[in-house]
């Protein structure tokens, strides 16, 4: 969990002075992975992954089970470190800073995560969303209330729960619980939001609500989503990466990946001729 002495307002990477002085466009990448290798014990799960994740865009990772897409996603907020006997090599930069060398709670405040299975705390709806703020030392009632409403509104849940904020979160439907988890993640205003198959247990209507809310919030945060649903990747993502056997086979504009991919492996996977 986060430590109170860390400021809730994040230090953003300073704009590079040279950007305005020269004709070069400012870099819009939020995260840069360079030659990332990841090991579970002696098993190498990721091989030499390099990619730029663009700011305020939705990037999706697709690929068969066990291809490394979730492992790579989890590397981006250091979730894999909770597992024993794992090792990561390479560089992962967040706004140009070494993410792998930062304080882990600081990383997780800047890079939020939503999981496949919604995991609300056994608390009220309100307290779930307020949780991140309180552990960060924000306790003033009016600020917390305002932030909870804002986060629930962004997560497209406010109108459904505003009259039962103090009811247990567990009383919500699966789709509502997942949106609550997104609201909880958004409350601390993360710069990056990672989602690991967030809709795999949801019905199509709940799925569309999540997708709509991701569109709504992408001007505020950079989104990376792992999905098994290729139509979801096609609908949502600006950029799509295809992983296979721990390697990033192809990473490109989503339309390119789904209309005319460069690599045969990608073509075989997206047309269902894989394996």
How many positions of this chain bind other proteins (CB under 8 A)?
A: 16
3 scored as a contact of other proteins (CB under 8 A): no
How open is the CA angle 57-80-213, to the nearest 5 degrees?
30
235 scored as a contact of other proteins (CB under 8 A): no
Contacts of 128 (CB under 8 A, 6+ apart): 120, 121, 169, 180, 183, 184
Q: Tell me how far apart the terminal alpha carbons of the chain are, to the nearest angstrom.
A: 42
State residue 249 phi and psi, 5-degree precision: -75, -45
260 scored as a contact of other proteins (CB under 8 A): yes
Least distance CB 222 / other proteins (angstroms): 17
- Residues 181-200 close enough to bind other proteins by CB under 8 A: none
Kindly tell me which of 38 and 269 has the beta carbon lying closer to other proteins.
269
272 scored as a contact of other proteins (CB under 8 A): yes
267 scored as a contact of other proteins (CB under 8 A): yes
114 scored as a contact of other proteins (CB under 8 A): no
Least distance CB 259 / other proteins (angstroms): 5
Kindly tell me which of 2 and 55 has the beta carbon lying closer to other proteins.
55
98 scored as a contact of other proteins (CB under 8 A): no
Give, for 114, the enclosing helix (H) or strand (E). strand 111-114
Q: Given candidates 74, 258, 274, 275, which one binds other proteins under the rule CB under 8 A?
A: 258
Cβ neighbourhood burial of 140 (10 Å; 0-12, 13-18, 19+): exposed
Contacts of 51 (CB under 8 A, 6+ apart): 32, 33, 241, 248, 251
Which residues in this chain contact other proteins in the complex, by CB under 8 A?
230-231, 234, 252-253, 255-256, 258-261, 266-267, 270-272
């Amino acid at each position: 969990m986060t430590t109170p002495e860390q400021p809730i307002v994040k230090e953003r990477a300073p704009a590079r002075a040279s950007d305005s002085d020269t004709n070069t466009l400012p870099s819009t990448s939020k995260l840069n992975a360079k030659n990332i290798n990841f090991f579970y014990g002696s098993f190498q799960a990721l091989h030499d992954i390099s990619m730029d994740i663009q700011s305020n865009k939705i990037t999706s990772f697709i690929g068969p089970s066990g291809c490394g897409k979730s492992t790579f996603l989890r590397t981006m907020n250091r979730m894999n470190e909770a597992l024993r006997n794992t090792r990561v090599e390479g560089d992962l930069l967040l706004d140009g800073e070494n993410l792998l060398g930062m304080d882990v709670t600081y990383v997780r405040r800047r890079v939020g995560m939503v999981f496949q299975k919604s995991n609300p705390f056994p608390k009220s709806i309100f307290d779930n969303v307020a949780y991140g703020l309180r552990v960060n030392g924000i306790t003033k009632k009016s600020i917390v209330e305002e932030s909870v409403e804002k986060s629930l509104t962004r997560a497209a849940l406010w109108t459904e729960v505003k009259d039962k904020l103090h009811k247990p979160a567990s009383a919500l439907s699966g789709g509502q619980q997942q949106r609550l988890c997104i609201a909880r993640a958004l409350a601390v205003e993360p710069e990056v939001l990672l989602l690991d198959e967030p809709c795999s247990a949801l019905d199509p209507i709940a799925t569309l609500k999540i997708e709509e809310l991701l569109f709504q919030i992408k001007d505020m945060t950079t989104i990376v989503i792992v999905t098994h649903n290729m139509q979801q990747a096609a609908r949502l993502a600006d950029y799509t990466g295809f992983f296979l056997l721990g390697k990033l086979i192809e990473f490109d504009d989503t339309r390119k990946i789904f209309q005319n991919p460069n690599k045969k492996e990608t073509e075989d996977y997206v047309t269902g001729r894989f394996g």
